[in-house]
């Protein structure tokens, strides 16, 4: 229900979540964005579209993903009862595919014949390349040169899936630059091309649309936790880079006031070091990639480079809805450093037999900080949004282990 | 103030010719060299001058302007210093319109009100802000118009008639038609498609129409000038600057002249239209 005092009513017709969001793009792109908004508006209320999406999510992605009680970690921390939403078990190993299914079906409805995407860790690139293979559409993925180097397994996967991976050498050569390059491609190839954005950022309607596609995470959790515990959880935790897995978990619960929510940002070498990706904890509002949101920037409005051991969190911005939820005080955002994430990565591997991606390892590190302080009947649900196979080389290097 | 733009287009009409609009990046390759180029532009034949204000993430620009922006940021240019260059330019030239082109975030962080006050006071005439479509007019466009700065809008081949009405509603100064869907510095469009587009836009507005994107030579500038009220050249001038730099990307004694001699050639092309158009 969209009511005035709901946290679930946004965005408004112009794509604003309070002061955040909007459509800050070149005029060349405006007609496309308006088309996309109309197409999504029509698809959203079309039962056939929903049915088609359900089919692929069930039979291809493998949804619903399990809600798993992490027994040994909970015992290790000796406090709250910790559940993992196992979105790392999705086809392609992360939550990214949920959004890709929704958008590729939309692109087909719109008659688009070519797909482009940006990627950081490569999870969204792999998911996009996957759905493009599935639906026989040519796919070009923009990826920063730095990320290509640290996410080689995913680069190879994309190529196996038939995608063209274009190295981006401008700027910091990471996710933000990949997004710039994808936008430039889109400005150039407006007629044929659909830009499949991987997170809840970009111009309206992307933040809303990607949120809607990812909300299946939280919707499933609601049913599953009631089945497991007979009640709703007390705390939700997820990592935030652009913020799509977090909003997917949080959104269906935003109006359940008694549930606390924590988004975990990448603090890199530590906030005080200046080398981090914590735009909400240490940034300020500005305009980048089509929307107003919290950004890492200098006093002249130039964008700073983010840093995180996790390529998926290495972005100097954040989805605009998170900026709004922060300012409204509805969600808390906490920083976790590279070292803390690495420790959680190893702990989870050994105690649960689950190798997490470095992204949710950040969320897990924060769970490890709060769980011991909470009562045994306190229910935490953390989104295990990706698996760690792609990160083993990065982790081995960080731990100075030869493989 | 925006009157300089109107006055300049009126003068061009009296001369029976189209104008040359140039774009150079402030701070590229260093602040003083970029000012020397700026200072020389009117005498070299630039009728209207766009000054670029760099942004770390220029999502509508091609490699040439991206790299120029990076050089400029490295040289320490800021919006504040760019306004200072406008002020210095006005000490010698009170007539040539100066238009600042860039992205919104540096202005947003500077503060819209403060920016408009400082820019007007320094002698700036108009703004082209790439990432502010009409949907975001409340941000800067309406305050700028109220303050007396022109807000020049881009129209593209993707801008259909209905959209054109919206784009033109709050624009002033002139209309900047980007002749191709693409980033700056890409290949240009055919003369015929440009002429058709200009004719279409004229049905919606009395504002002069400048056409840019892809103009590299005096011949191309002349062709565009035959169809439109002005031709805009940016990447080609910046490429000329780039080619004149030394191995470290620093200015050489040839840099200023490399830019200005290209502008002289372009201006010669555009001025041909006067003789052709004469009755």
Q: What is the pLDDT of residue B190?
A: 78
Can you name the residues that pair with A268 across neighbouring β-strands? A337
Read off the tokens for B215: 């103009």
Can you name the residues that pair with A21 across neighbouring β-strands? A16, A292
Average the pLDDT over A247-255 and give the result. Answer: 98
Q: Is B57 a catalytic residue?
A: no
The answer to whether residue A3 scores a pLDDT higher than 70 is: no
For residue A274, the distance in angstroms to the closest alpha carbon of chain B comes to 18
Q: Which of A14, A188, A299 sits opposite B182 (nearest CB)?
A: A188
Domains of chain B: 3-277 (3.20.20.70)
Band the pLDDT of B277: cuts 50, 70, 90: low
Read off the tokens for A296: 């890492």
Q: Count the residues in chain B.
A: 279
- Chain A residue at shortest CA distance from B138: A22
Using the beta-carbon criterion (under 8 Å), do A187 and B63 form an inter-chain contact?
no
CB atoms inside a 10 Å sphere around CB A234: 17
Residues 134-173, chain B: which have Cβ within 8 Å of A? Answer: 134-136, 153-156, 158-160, 163, 167
Using the beta-carbon criterion (under 8 Å), do A184 and B107 form an inter-chain contact?
no
Band the pLDDT of B1: cuts 50, 70, 90: low
| Mean pLDDT for chain B overall | 94
Tens of pLDDT along A156-188? Answer: 999 999 999 999 998 888 889 999 999 999 988
Read off the tokens for A27: 């005029």
B107 vs A contacts (CB less than 8 Å): 301
For residue B75, the distance in angstroms to the closest alpha carbon of chain A comes to 14
Q: What is the pLDDT of residue B16?
A: 95
B109 vs A contacts (CB less than 8 Å): 286, 297, 299-301
Using the beta-carbon criterion (under 8 Å), do B57 and A176 form an inter-chain contact?
yes
Using the beta-carbon criterion (under 8 Å), do B130 and A26 form an inter-chain contact?
yes
B63 vs A contacts (CB less than 8 Å): 170
∠ CA(B56), CA(B61), CA(B66), 5° rounding?
Answer: 45
For residues B148 and B1, the answer to whether their CB atoms sit within 8 Å is yes
In terms of Cα–Cα distance, which of A332, A328, A334, A356 is closest to A344?
Answer: A356
Tens of pLDDT along A192-242? Answer: 999 999 999 999 999 999 999 999 999 999 999 999 999 999 999 999 999
Average the pLDDT over A95-121 and give the result. Answer: 97
- Whole-angstrom CA distances from A322 to A247, A268, A338, B27, B109 are 8, 20, 22, 36, 20
Tens of pLDDT along B80-137? Answer: 999 999 999 999 999 999 999 999 999 999 999 999 999 999 999 999 999 999 999 9
Q: What is the pLDDT of residue A403?
A: 81
Q: Is B28 a catalytic residue?
A: no
| Mean pLDDT for chain A overall | 96
The answer to whether residue A84 scores a pLDDT higher than 90 is: yes
Radius of gyration from C-alpha coordinates of chain B: 17
Q: Please give the distance of CA A137 from its chain centroid, rounded to a whole number.
A: 23
Residue appearing with tokens 């760690």: A388
A344 or B215, higher pLDDT: A344
Average the pLDDT over B253-276 and give the result. Answer: 92
Which stretches within A94-205 are classed as H helix? Answer: 96-109, 123-135, 145-150, 152-160, 175-188
Using the beta-carbon criterion (under 8 Å), do A25 and B133 form an inter-chain contact?
yes
Asked if B109 is an interface residue toward chain A (Cβ–Cβ < 8 A), one would say yes
Using the beta-carbon criterion (under 8 Å), do A31 and B160 form an inter-chain contact?
yes
- Whole-angstrom CA distances from B237 to A200, A223, B37, B231, B257 are 38, 62, 11, 13, 11
- Chain A residue at shortest CA distance from B162: A31
Interface test with B, best of A16, A23, A28 (most B CBs within 10 A): A28
DSSP B142-190: HHHHHHT-EE-EEE-TT--HHHHHHHHHT--S-EEEESSSS-TTSPPPP
Band the pLDDT of B181: cuts 50, 70, 90: confident
Distant-in-sequence, close-in-space partners of A46: CB < 8 Å, separation ≥ 6: none
The answer to whether residue B182 scores a pLDDT higher than 90 is: no
Read off the tokens for A36: 């996309």
In terms of Cα–Cα distance, which of B122, B38, B74, B57 is closest to B248?
Answer: B74
Asked if B182 is an interface residue toward chain A (Cβ–Cβ < 8 A), one would say yes
Q: What is the pLDDT of residue A283?
A: 97
Q: What is the pLDDT of residue B70?
A: 95
In angstroms, the CA A281 to CA A271 distance is: 8
- Sort strands B126-129 and B19-25 into parallel, antiparallel or unpaired: unpaired
B62 or A62, higher pLDDT: A62
Band the pLDDT of A2: cuts 50, 70, 90: very low
What are phi and psi for residue A264, nearest 5 degrees? -105, 120
B110 vs A contacts (CB less than 8 Å): 300-301
The answer to whether residue B278 scores a pLDDT higher than 80 is: no
Read off the tokens for A280: 């909400």
Q: Count the residues in chain A.
A: 403
Can you name the residues that pair with A295 across neighbouring β-strands? A284
In terms of Cα–Cα distance, which of A273, A357, A342 is closest to A307?
Answer: A273
Q: Which of A26, A171, A300 sits opposite B131 (nearest CB)?
A: A26
For residues A361 and A342, the answer to whether their CB atoms sit within 8 Å is yes
Band the pLDDT of B279: cuts 50, 70, 90: very low
**Interface ipTM:** 0.94
The answer to whether residue A24 scores a pLDDT higher than 60 is: yes
Interface test with A, best of B111, B114, B131 (most A CBs within 10 A): B131
Q: Which of B108, B154, B160 sits opposite A287 (nearest CB)?
A: B108
For residues B126 and B150, the answer to whether their CB atoms sit within 8 Å is yes
Band the pLDDT of B273: cuts 50, 70, 90: confident
∠ CA(A43), CA(A47), CA(A48), 5° rounding?
Answer: 80
Read off the tokens for A379: 């229910």
The answer to whether residue B275 scores a pLDDT higher than 70 is: no
In angstroms, the CA A26 to CA B180 distance is: 13
In angstroms, the CA A67 to CA A61 distance is: 16
The answer to whether residue B183 scores a pLDDT higher than 80 is: no
The answer to whether residue A1 scores a pLDDT higher than 50 is: no
Among B28, B30, B47, B50, the active-site one is: B50
Asked if B221 is an interface residue toward chain A (Cβ–Cβ < 8 A), one would say no
Average the pLDDT over B220-236 and give the result. Answer: 94
Can you name the residues that pair with A115 across neighbouring β-strands? A139, A194
The answer to whether residue A114 scores a pLDDT higher than 50 is: yes
Q: Which of A29, A171, A187 sits opposite B56 (nearest CB)?
A: A171
The answer to whether residue A121 scores a pLDDT higher than 90 is: no
Please give the sequence-ordered ranges of beta strands (E in DSSP) within A284-353, or none if there are none. Answer: 284-288, 290-295, 332-337
Count of pairs with CB atoms under 8 A, one residue in A, one in B: 119
- Whole-angstrom CA distances from A243 to A208, A314, B141 are 12, 12, 31
Distant-in-sequence, close-in-space partners of A371: CB < 8 Å, separation ≥ 6: A74, A77, A78, A79, A80, A82, A380
Q: What is the pLDDT of residue A238?
A: 98
Average the pLDDT over A37-63 and give the result. Answer: 98
Residues of A with CB under 8 A from a CB of B: 14, 22-32, 170-171, 176-177, 179-180, 183-184, 187-191, 286-290, 295, 297, 299-303
First vs last C-alpha separation in chain B: 34
B104 vs A contacts (CB less than 8 Å): 24, 287
Among B6, B47, B61, B223, the active-site one is: B61
In angstroms, the CA B30 to CA B69 distance is: 11
């Amino acid at each position: 229900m969209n009511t005035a005092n709901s946290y679930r009513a946004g965005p408004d017709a112009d794509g604003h979540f309070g002061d955040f969001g909007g459509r800050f793009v070149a005029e060349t792109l405006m007609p496309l964005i308006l088309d996309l908004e109309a197409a999504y508006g029509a698809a959203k209320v079309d039962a056939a579209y929903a049915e088609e999406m359900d089919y692929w999510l069930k039979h291809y992605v493998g949804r619903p993903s399990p809600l798993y009680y992490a027994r040994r970690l909970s015992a290790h921390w000796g406090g709250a009862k910790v559940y993992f939403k196992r979105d790392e078990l999705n086809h392609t190993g992360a939550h990214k595919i949920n959004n890709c299914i929704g958008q590729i079906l939309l692109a087909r409805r719109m008659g688009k014949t070519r797909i482009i995407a940006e990627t950081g860790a490569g999870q969204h690139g792999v998911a996009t390349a996957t759905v493009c293979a599935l639906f026989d559409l040519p796919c070009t993925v923009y990826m920063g040169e730095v990320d290509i180097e640290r996410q080689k397994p995913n680069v190879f996967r994309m190529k196996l899936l038939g995608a063209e991976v274009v190295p981006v050498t401008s700027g910091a050569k990471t996710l933000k630059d990949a997004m710039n390059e994808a936008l430039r491609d889109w400005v150039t190839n407006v007629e044929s091309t659909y830009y499949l954005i991987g997170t809840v950022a970009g111009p309206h309607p992307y933040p809303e649309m990607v949120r809607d596609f990812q909300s299946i995470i939280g919707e499933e959790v609601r049913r599953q936790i009631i089945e497991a515990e007979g009640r709703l959880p007390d705390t939700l935790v997820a990592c935030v880079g652009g913020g799509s897995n977090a909003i997917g978990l949080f959104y269906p619960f935003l109006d359940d006031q008694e549930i606390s929510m924590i988004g975990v940002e990448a603090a890199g070498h530590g906030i005080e070091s200046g080398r981090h990706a914590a735009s909400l904890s240490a940034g300020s509002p500005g305009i980048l990639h089509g929307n107003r949101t919290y950004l890492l920037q200098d006093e002249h409005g130039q964008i700073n480079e983010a840093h995180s051991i996790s390529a998926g969190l290495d972005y100097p911005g954040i989805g605009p809805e998170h900026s709004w939820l922060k300012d409204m005080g509805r969600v808390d955002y906490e920083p976790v450093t590279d070292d803390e994430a690495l420790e959680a990565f190893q702990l989870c591997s050994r105690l649960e037999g689950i190798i997490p991606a470095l992204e949710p390892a950040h969320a897990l590190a924060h769970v490890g900080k709060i769980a011991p302080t909470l009562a045994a009947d306190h229910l935490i649900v953390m989104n295990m949004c990706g698996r760690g196979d792609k990160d083993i080389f990065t982790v081995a290097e960080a731990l100075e282990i030869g493989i | 103030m925006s009157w300089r733009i109107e006055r300049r287009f009126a003068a061009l009409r009296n001369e029976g010719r189209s104008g040359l609009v140039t774009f150079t990046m402030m701070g590229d390759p260093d602040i003083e060299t970029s000012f020397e180029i700026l200072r020389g532009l009117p005498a070299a034949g630039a009728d209207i001058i766009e000054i670029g204000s760099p942004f770390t993430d220029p999502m509508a620009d091609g490699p040439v302007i991206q790299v120029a922006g990076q050089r400029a940021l490295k040289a320490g240019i800021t919006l504040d210093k760019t306004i200072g260059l406008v002020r210095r330019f006005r000490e010698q030239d009170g007539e040539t319109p100066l238009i600042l082109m860039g992205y919104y975030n540096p202005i947003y962080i500077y503060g819209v009100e403060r920016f408009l006050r400082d820019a007007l006071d320094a002698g700036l005439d108009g703004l082209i802000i790439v990432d502010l479509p009409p949907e975001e007019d409340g941000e800067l466009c309406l305050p700028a118009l109220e303050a007396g700065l022109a807000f020049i809008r881009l129209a593209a081949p993707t801008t259909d008639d209905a959209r054109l009405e919206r784009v033109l509603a709050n624009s002033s100064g002139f209309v900047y038609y980007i002749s191709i869907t693409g980033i700056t510095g890409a290949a240009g469009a055919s003369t015929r498609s440009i002429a058709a587009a200009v004719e279409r836009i004229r049905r919606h507005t009395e504002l002069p129409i400048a056409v840019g994107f892809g103009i590299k030579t005096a011949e191309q500038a002349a062709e565009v000038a035959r169809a439109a009220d002005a031709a805009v050249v940016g990447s080609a001038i910046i490429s000329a600057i780039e080619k004149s730099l030394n191995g470290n990307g620093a200015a050489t004694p040839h840099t200023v002249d490399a830019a200005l001699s290209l502008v002289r050639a372009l201006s010669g092309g555009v001025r041909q239209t006067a003789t052709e158009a004469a009755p």
